[in-house]
Amino acid sequence: MQIFIMRHGEAALDAASDALRPLTERGKSESIKMAEWMTTQGHTIDYVLVSPYLRAQQTLDAVKADLALPSKIEIDDGLIPGGNPSHVAHYLCALGDTGYKNILVISHLPLVGYVVAELCPAVCAPMFSTSTIACVDFDLSKGAGELLWQVSPSTLK
């Protein structure tokens, strides 16, 4: 199973609360750029998990424009910045056990890095700039994954 872990796009600093911080124009355009790249690489998604925070929801909206996504998208309250990476990893395994093969997760720092480390025991939690996507190839039978790549908007031409 492949798990694509994405940090939301760049967000404004000023908002009524952290949960209500909107994407900037740069955040939208970089998220679209990443979705276009995913499409050109032939990646398909059959399940989406997204944080309830506004910037993650807006990142999903930007990604939807250029990456084919399933109609069923799950908003997961555990995908907030202080979420539990172990719980997220266990849930991803349960989704894999039910047959999902390509899952997109859109969340926040520091959780995105900790989820990668939880899924890939040989990897330290990587840093994620905004709109960065990491791909974990997860072997359900071994209960462990391998970090295949991590791509940020700045690495794309």
pLDDT digit string, tens, across residues 9-59: 999 999 999 999 999 999 999 999 999 999 999 999 999 999 999 999 999
* Stretch 76-85: mean pLDDT: 98
Backbone φ and ψ for 73, nearest 5 degrees, come out as: -125, 130
Q: Which two tokens stand for residue 45?
A: 């998604």
Query: Which residues neighbour 146 within 8 Å (Cβ) at sequence distance 6 or greater?
Result: 120, 122, 136, 137, 139
Query: Which residues neighbour 49 within 8 Å (Cβ) at sequence distance 6 or greater?
Result: 74, 76, 79, 91, 92, 103, 104, 105, 106
